[in-house]
Amino acid sequence: MIINNDTIIKDDDPLIRTKSKDVALPLSDEDKSLLLDMHKYVYDSTIEEIAEKENLRPAVGISAIQVGVPKKMTAIIIKDKDGNPIYDFALVNPKIISSSIEKSYLKYGEGCLSVDGEHEGYIYRSARCKVKAYDLLLDQDIIINAKGYLAIVLQHELDHFKGVLFYDHINPKQPYFEDPEAICIE
């Protein structure tokens, strides 16, 4: 499947609010191909020459609903400053099995491939979470003990499975309310 900024479902399309379904394992060839295409998008999106040529917006994650497929699949790649992957996942049926009461948020807010407009404000999420999933890259079930930025990215992508977008979490009356107990991630 060709995935680029023109084919990603935007937030004005009601499809983005669709709840995603579990995916049968072992993966069908079609699901495997889609997840690998999603993974390639995320990897290539931060390589400037490829991103410009193929019309890709920079991303650390993408979920299947964002390409019009309501299935619980997501690809996440977080790279270091040199462009090397620190975290690299192609997850199927990921599920949060535990999360901290302590909250964290990104100082400069969150963004999303499906959201073009500005939505300013803090999005509070669990500072730590444990996620169970099948990882296509490792071809096995895994448990991810995430904290900080990775925890936020995982929760953001898993929200897509429920039809929830990041700005749904922003306090409309006080978008920049600062919780003194929450961890600010810069």
Catalytic residues: 157
Burial class (CB in 10 A: 0-12, 13-18, 19+), 114: buried
